[in-house]
Amino acid sequence: MASYDRRTTVDAPLEEVWAFHSSPAGLERLTPDWMNLLVEAAVGPDGERDPAVLEAGSELSLSVRPFGIGPRQYVRSAITERERAGGRAYFRDELVDGPFDRWEHTHAFFADGDRTIVRDHVVYDLPYGSLGRFATPLSTVGFEATFRDRHRRTKAALE
């Protein structure tokens, strides 16, 4: 099991940053253009289509076509946890079906006065067994580019 971690400080209050990250529209705004993301469907825990907020139990069906190359890759993930208490908040999405053998992404937010510390922590396993384990160190390149851009987009949207 491998992991990736990135944090940044956003000059915006926790409530704004939390709300921005809590919707399918926020996900679309945060994803780098080169991923060519489409939110195919979002379903809330009660079966509601296109919920305004992704609560625990929500599922997302997404597709990506990185760099516009090859066929679209389909991904289904579920929000497994979501909590907001005091000056902290987090939610976790886990891969249900997609290109990784394992994917758990924890989005955490911490109030720092009028600013918010944003932390992305991903625990993952690449597919293809020992070949995937051999390639895992190379995956950092893709994660770094993706999450650097996500944090830049968060700052641009909220500051």
End-to-end CA distance of the chain: 35
Q: In the predicted model, what is the mean pLDDT of the chain?
A: 94
Asked whether the whole model's pTM tops 0.85, one would answer: yes
Residue spans of the domains in the chain: they are 2-158
Residue with tokens 């956003």: 10
Q: How far apart are CA 118 and CA 107, in angstroms?
A: 7
The most distant pair of C-alpha atoms in the chain lies apart, rounded to whole Å, by: 46
What pLDDT does 113 receive? 97
Q: Tell me: the pLDDT tens digits for 47-77?
A: 999 999 999 999 999 999 999 999 999 999 9
Q: Which CATH superfamily is domain 2-158 in?
A: START domain (3.30.530.20)
pLDDT per position as a tens digit, 107-120:
999 999 999 999 99
